[in-house]
Amino acid sequence: MKARNIQHTSFANEVQMGPMRVKQPLPATNIRQMSPFILLHHAGPTYYNPDTSKPRLSPHPHRGFEPVTFLFQGKIHHKDSLGNEGFLNAGDVQWMTSGKGIIHSEGPSAEFMQEGGNFELIQLWVNLPRVHKMTEPKYQHLTKETMPVIKEDGLELQLVAGNYKGQTGAASTFSPILAMMVHFDAGAKTFFELPDSYNALVYVLDGEIKTNETTVEKLNMVTFDHEGEGIDFEAVSKGKLLLLAGEPIQEPLSTYGPFVMNYPAELKQAIEDYELGLMGVLED
């Protein structure tokens, strides 16, 4: 099978996100989005001693997209204006649909603060098609146990969303998406088959890989063209990555802070609605 070629490479430079410093490979100077994926933040890995202060994002609003948290290490506590409260462990995923508006907060759980340990997560922003931007908000807490795991030689593929090798991910999505948390040993090889129309990217959290004879080091994100049937993969060293692919949303994109809409006037309306309390209330 013909492998897709790398289209862009983006290093995850650090940016300030509330009380935290996070690595951001998307958006970057050479790539604004890889529709339907519009932002990727990588927090950690960081070791916290027990009983020390740990950063938490205070209540803040979202509208028009889906914030998704992939927890690789640690434990987090989520609260939102719908009344949802989730406690996530390593390997769990939080898939939240902001829709017409939601307020949430998240950070290391009280249990993790007492225990200490390693903390690492990715937050991904997934765009919503215009027809669904003002849908009712919802929250999906996907535990590791509810997600199919596909094991190959030296590879463990945790299927979060979409269909792959006869398995179906646990997440419900508004557009066709494939999302996998992948752990790999040195020397592992595979070929990720993808639908021709899907945009695709790989972000390497740790380790080093090769794809189509090109080396990709950790903290780099690569996007791919459509000239092939999938992504060729070889692990140079042990590590982990996030593989994302999806049907692009061919619509205008207008963003401001925590709001993702189609046109500037809709952003202005989002700000007004938030200030009027129409997205709900959440106490810190």
Q: What is the mean pLDDT of residues 110-118?
A: 90
Which residues belong to the annotated binding site for Fe cation? 60, 62, 104, 106
Asked if the model's pLDDT at residue 149 lies above 90, the reply is yes
Asked if the model's pLDDT at residue 107 lies above 90, the reply is no
Write the DSSP symbol of residue 2. Answer: P
Tokens 């937050």 -> residue: 123
* 32 part of a folded domain: yes
**pLDDT for residue 253:** 97
**pLDDT for residue 17:** 81
Q: What is the mean pLDDT of the chain?
A: 95
**To 5 degrees, how large is the angle CA 34–CA 39–CA 42?**
120
Q: Choose from 9-18, 47-56, 208-217 the range with maximum mean pLDDT.
A: 208-217
* 106 part of a folded domain: yes
* 116 part of a folded domain: yes
Domain that holds residue 181: 6-275
Least confident stretch, 49-63, 162-176, 212-226: 49-63
Q: What are phi and psi of 204, to 5 degrees?
A: -95, 110
d(Cα 269, Cα 255) in Å, to the nearest integer?
12
**pLDDT for residue 284:** 65
* 244 part of a folded domain: yes
pLDDT tens, position by position, 232-243: 999 999 999 999
Asked if the model's pLDDT at residue 101 lies above 90, the reply is yes
**pLDDT for residue 283:** 75
Asked if the model's pLDDT at residue 272 lies above 80, the reply is yes
pTM of the model: 0.96
Which residues belong to the annotated binding site? 60, 62, 104, 106
- What is the percent of the chain with per-residue pLDDT over 90, rounded to a whole number? 87
pLDDT tier at 58 (50, 70, 90 boundaries)?
confident
* 280 part of a folded domain: no
Q: What is the mean pLDDT of residues 112-141?
A: 96
d(Cα 34, Cα 91) in Å, to the nearest integer?
24
* 151 part of a folded domain: yes
SS3 17: strand
How many folded domains does the chain comprise? Answer: 1
Q: What CATH number did the domain enclosing 89 receive?
A: 2.60.120.10
SS3 157: strand
d(Cα 140, Cα 95) in Å, to the nearest integer?
5
* 252 part of a folded domain: yes
Q: What is the mean pLDDT of residues 93-108?
A: 95
* 281 part of a folded domain: no
Q: Which residues contact 258 (CB under 8 A, 6 or more apart)?
A: 60, 61, 62, 63
